[in-house]
Amino acid sequence: MVMAVLIITTNDQVQKILRSSSSSDNAFAIGNLGDIIRKHRHWQEYFPRVEPFYAIKCNDVEPVIRILADMGLSFDCASKIEIQKILDLGVDPSRIIYANTFKQPSFLKFAAENCVSLMTFDCEDELTKIKKVYPEAKLVLRISPQSNYKVKFHLGRKFGCHPLRASELLQVAMKLKLNVIGVSFHVGSGCLETGAFEAAIEQSRKVFDIGLAMGFNMHLLDIGGGFPGQKIQNVETNITFEEIARVANKSLDKYFPGNDVRIIAEPGQYYVASAFTVAVNIITKKIVMDDEIVQPNSTECVDDPTTQNEPVRMYIINDGIYGCFFACFVDPRCYVPSHFKSIDEELYNSTIWGPTCDALDLIIDNVKLPELSTGDWIYFKDMGAYSFPNISSFNNMPRVKEFYICERKLWEEIYQP
Ligand SMILES: Cc1ncc(COP(=O)(O)O)c(C=O)c1O
C-alpha cells in the first residue's frame, strides 16, 4: 500500500501515479482517506443526534475500516467475517450491530461467543434461532417502511416486517422472553426523496409505542442507510445529504424528542463513495457501424433505414463489472468517465466495455467521448461504494491495485505526530 500525505486534485493524482508506475498498464484505484475524514466531520455537524455504524459491506478495505475505527465510528456487520474484521481492529463488540436479519446459526454462535449482542430481526424463525443460540441478545425489530418514495435500490421486498405485523412479532418475542430494545429501517440504498425518511421515522414511532405498551424497554432507533455520498450530484432529483439530514432531524425531533432514545444509523456509501477514483487503461479500440451491432434477443443485424448509420467507438478497458464496476448492473447511469484530452475536442458516440469474455460486461453505452486510442487512460470518480467487495475472480482478471493518499493536516488530526 502506498500512503502519501499531500493535497492534489483527482486529475493530478491519476497523472502522478501514472508517471511513477509507467511500466504498468494495470487498472488502479486511489483512495483519499482525507475525504473520509471530512465526511465524518460533516456527518457530526449535520447529524449531531445520530451515531453512525458504518456498513462495512459497502467497502471493507483495511485502510478505510481502520481510519473509521480510529475516528471512533461503530460498525454494521452482516456476517462472521465482517464481524471478525472489525474485532481484529481492536473495536469493542459493543460498537457492532449485526444488522443482517438472516443469520447463519454458526455466525450467530460466533456473535454470542464474541459478545456482539446488538442485532436486527424481522421474522419469527429468526427469533426462534436467537432464543436457542443467544437469548441475551439485544434485538432491534427491522420494519419495511410502507411508502412510495423513490430510492435507487429497494430493500423492502426481502427485508423488514410490515409495520402492521410488528405487534404479532413482538408478541412472539415476549413469549420467548427475548430482549427487544428498538426498531430499525432502511429506506433503500440511494434515497432520492427526503419524504422516505419522514415516513419511515413516523412508522417507527408507532412500532416503538407498541413495544413500549407491551413492556419492552425500547430505547434504540436505527435509521439505516441510504444517504448519498457521491461528489457528482444525482441528476434525477439533485437530492443532497444535507437535505436528507434536515428532514430526518426534523422528524426525529418530532417523533423522538428528548434524549431517552439512542439514535443510530448504518451509512455505507455516504462515507466512501467519493473517496475513490479508479483509473483504467484502454486495451482495445474497435469501431463498428450502428447497423452492424446485433441487438439483444435478435439474430439479425439492425437494418432500420430511418436511423442514421453512425460509427460507434467501442473501448475495451481493463476493469469491468467483475471488477470495480459491479454497480452498473443495478444503475446503468452511475459511471461518468473522465479523460485527459482537451475539453475542446470533438466528441463521438462511444461505448465502454469491461475486459472479460462476458457480453454483459458493459460499463457505459452511448456516451460522448473525444477520440481515444488503445493505451490511453481514463478514470472514474465516486468509485468507493460497492466496488471492492464485489470484485470476483471471473476470467482471473487482475484486481485493481490500491493507492492511498491523505492531506497531512487531516491525517495528523487523527494520528498525532
Ligand atoms: C442493512 C443495511 N444497512 C446499511 C446499508 C448501507 O446502505 P447505504 O450504502 O445505502 O448507506 C445496507 C446496504 O445494502 C444494508 O443492507
Distance from residue 177's CA to the centre of ligand 1 (Å): 29
pLDDT at 7: 43
pLDDT in tens, the chain (417 residues): 444 444 445 667 767 776 776 668 999 999 999 999 999 999 999 999 999 999 999 999 999 999 999 999 999 999 999 999 999 999 999 999 999 999 999 999 999 999 999 999 999 999 999 999 999 999 999 999 998 888 888 888 889 999 999 999 999 999 999 999 999 999 988 878 899 999 999 999 999 999 999 999 999 999 999 999 988 765 555 689 999 999 999 999 999 998 999 999 999 999 999 999 999 999 999 999 877 776 665 555 555 555 667 899 999 999 999 999 988 776 767 788 999 999 899 999 999 999 999 999 999 998 999 999 999 999 999 999 999 999 999 999 999 999 999 999 999 999 987
Closest ligand 1 atom, CA of 385? 9
Atom of ligand 1 nearest to the CA of 58: 9
From 123, 324, 357, 406, active-site residue: 357
**Is 48:252 a contact under the CB 8 Å cutoff?**
no
If you take atom 5 of ligand 1, which residue's CA is the nearest one?
Answer: 225
Q: Where are the beta strands (DSSP E) in 36-137?
A: 50-55, 74-77, 96-98, 118-121
Q: Which cell goes with 328?
A: 452498473
Contact present, 223 and 251 (Cβ < 8 Å):
no
Residue 147: closest CA among 134, 156, 158: 156
Look up residue 346 and give its three cell numbers: 470533438
Q: Which structural domains are found in the chain, ordered by start? A: 32-273 (3.20.20.10), 274-405 (2.40.37.10)
**Which grid cell is 51?**
451515531
Q: What are phi and psi of 411, to 5 degrees?
A: -55, -45
Q: 226 CA distance to ligand 1 centroid (A)?
A: 6
Over its C-alpha atoms, the chain yields an Rg (Å, rounded) of: 24
Is the distance from CB of 312 to CB of 324 less than 8 angstroms? no
pLDDT of residue 6: 43
Give the per-residue pLDDT at 385.
94
The set of residues, in sequence order, having a beta carbon less than 8 Å from that of 344 and lying 6+ positions away, is none
Active-site annotation holds for 357: yes
Distance 138 CA to ligand 1 centre (A): 20
Sequence-ordered list of residues with C-beta below 8 angstroms from that of 208, at least 6 positions apart, any chain: 182, 183, 218, 221, 256, 261
pLDDT on residue 236: 58
Does an H or E element contain 152, and which?
strand 151-153
Q: Which residues line ligand 1 (CB under 6 A)?
A: 55, 58, 76, 99, 155, 186, 189, 224-227, 266-270
Q: Which ligand 1 atom is the nearest neighbour of the CA of 386?
A: 9
Residue of 47, 54, 58, 102 to test ligand 1 pocket, by largest number of atoms within 8 Å of CB: 58
Residue 35 near residue 408, CB atoms below 8 Å: no
